[in-house]
């Protein structure tokens, strides 16, 4: 049957009474009742849109109605009953009533009721679960830097999740274990704040390592929210000494560079040079991280030490100096001479091959010349004629030709 248009207040009152009436009905409705409404539960994240659909198999021209969690009528057939622009009619037919709720809020969470005004009135419930989206995790640390061998504490926090989110620590592609997690309800009473604490015993290899915290939550369909922080580990310097070249020769200038790597980096004044079992020559100059020799002497032979102090600790490196004679050749020069010798040998070999080929060519053509030269004496009647023929008498043979007509 068709219903006339009612004022909003009347529709609210009517809807509330019908729901109350349906709740006290003692009739047992069978599952195959063609007039029994059918609904489905829905899950939506805050800010999203949810569609509520109510269907019946058959219609006796009775209207379907949707009511909210407070039993306020939202739609009665295709008639809007609640002035909330977030709620819109999606589809209305004799056997279906679908509505949408946009810009979903946490307060929209709960049970919604679909009713059909038959005798008796039949109802069905649809539970809308609204997910609170957790905020991007924030990482705090109990100190900015920790010395090698110490323990650093990292705290990751994320608020606004409903249900409570899960926090996960990682380094690169590896998950880190051993964290402890606490959950606390937010002031609104609907969402939760999650906090995870991770303790790490660090070495110098952990300096500048990136540690991340990720939030796992069903509302984050586009991927986990992540935050990363870089560790700062303080450690004493590692020291090495780099020579100017590999062949220190007597009489030449020479230098050693002391390289210290630590956290923090050592200052230029933190380098201390000394000679083991001796003292530095007056011709040796200390220039911060460099030790410079103005003119090498064999008396400079020995072990040189460089000590570096960066405030966290000290590191020492050593280098054994062995001064060579001025005529000493570097290994590299030996390699260069070997390469040059090889190239010269190849060139000589190619020239020899060319000479052999050229000699064979000349010998072959000389034999051919002699053979043609000897042809002049084949038909000569005497020695004089043979000599004449050999010296070019072929043209004379042409003169001796006779022609008969």
118 vs 81: CA distance, rounded Å: 20
Residue 278 reports pLDDT greater than 90: no
pLDDT given at position 88: 96
pLDDT digit string, tens, across residues 333-347: 445 566 777 888 889
For 8-130, the fitting CATH number among 2.60.40.10, 3.40.50.300, 1.10.10.10, 1.20.1250.20 is: 2.60.40.10
Element (H, E) at 399: helix 394-399
Q: How far is CA 251 from the centre of its chain?
A: 53
DSSP-derived letter for residue 25 is -
Given pLDDT bands bounded at 50, 70 and 90, which one contains residue 141?
A: confident
pLDDT digit string, tens, across residues 80-134: 998 899 999 999 999 999 999 999 999 999 999 999 988 889 999 999 999 999 9
Mean pLDDT of the chain: 84
Question: Taking Cα atoms as reference points, which of 141, 142, 184 lies closest to residue 161?
Answer: 184
In the block, which residue shows the tokens 């620590």?
169
pLDDT given at position 275: 95
368 vs 377: CA distance, rounded Å: 16
* Partners of residue 180 on adjacent β-strands: 197
pLDDT given at position 5: 43
Architecture of domain 138-231 in CATH? Sandwich (2.60)
Q: How far is CA 316 from the centre of its chain?
A: 37
Average pLDDT over every residue of 175-184 = 95
What is the CATH T-level fold of the domain 235-321, as seen in this structure?
Immunoglobulin-like (2.60.40)
Do β-strands 290-293 and 284-287 pair in parallel, antiparallel, or remain unpaired? antiparallel
pLDDT digit string, tens, across residues 312-334: 999 999 999 999 998 876 554 44
Distances (CA, A) of 199 to 127, 148, 152, 226, 234: 42, 14, 6, 19, 17
Residue 28 reports pLDDT greater than 90: no
């Amino acid at each position: 049957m068709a219903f006339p248009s009612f004022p909003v207040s009347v529709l609210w009152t009517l809807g509330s009474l019908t729901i109350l009436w349906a709740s006290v009905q003692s009739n047992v409705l069978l599952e195959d009742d063609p007039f029994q409404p059918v609904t489905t539960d829905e899950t939506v994240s805050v800010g999203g849109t949810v569609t509520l659909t109510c269907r019946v198999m058959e219609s006796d021209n009775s209207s379907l109605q949707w009511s909210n969690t407070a039993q306020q009528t939202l739609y009665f057939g295709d008639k809007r009953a609640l002035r909330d622009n977030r709620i819109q009619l999606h589809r209305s037919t004799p056997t279906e009533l679908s509505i949408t709720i946009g810009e979903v809020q946490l307060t929209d969470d709960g049970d919604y009721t679909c009713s059909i005004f038959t005798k008796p009135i039949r109802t069905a419930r649809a539970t809308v679960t609204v997910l609170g989206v957790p905020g991007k995790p924030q990482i705090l640390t109990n100190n900015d830097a920790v010395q090698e061998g110490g323990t650093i504490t990292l705290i990751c926090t994320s608020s606004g999740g409903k249900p409570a989110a899960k926090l996960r620590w990682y380094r690169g592609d590896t998950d880190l274990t051993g964290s402890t997690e606490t959950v606390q309800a937010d002031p609104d009473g609907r969402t939760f704040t999650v906090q995870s604490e991770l303790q790490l015993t660090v070495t110098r290899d952990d300096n500048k390592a990136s540690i991340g915290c990720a939030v796992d939550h069903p509302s984050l369909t586009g991927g986990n929210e992540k935050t990363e922080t870089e560790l700062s580990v303080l450690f004493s310097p590692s020291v090495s000494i780099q020579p100017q070249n590999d062949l220190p020769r007597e009489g030449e200038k020479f230098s050693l560079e002391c390289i210290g790597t630590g956290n923090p980096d050592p200052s230029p004044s933190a380098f201390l040079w000394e000679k083991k079992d001796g003292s530095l020559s007056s011709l040796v100059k200390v220039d911060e991280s460099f030790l410079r020799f103005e003119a090498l002497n064999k008396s400079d032979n020995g072990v040189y030490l460089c000590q570096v102090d960066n405030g966290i600790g000290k590191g020492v490196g050593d280098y054994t100096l062995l001064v060579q004679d001025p005529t000493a050749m570097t290994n590299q020069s030996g390699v260069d001479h070997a390469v040059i010798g090889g190239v010269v040998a190849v060139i000589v070999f190619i020239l020899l091959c060319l000479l052999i080929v050229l000699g064979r060519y000349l010998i072959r053509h000389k034999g051919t010349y002699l053979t043609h030269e000897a042809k002049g004496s084949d038909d000569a009647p005497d020695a004089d004629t043979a000599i004449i023929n050999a010296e070019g008498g072929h043209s004379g043979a042409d003169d001796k030709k006779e022609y008969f007509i």
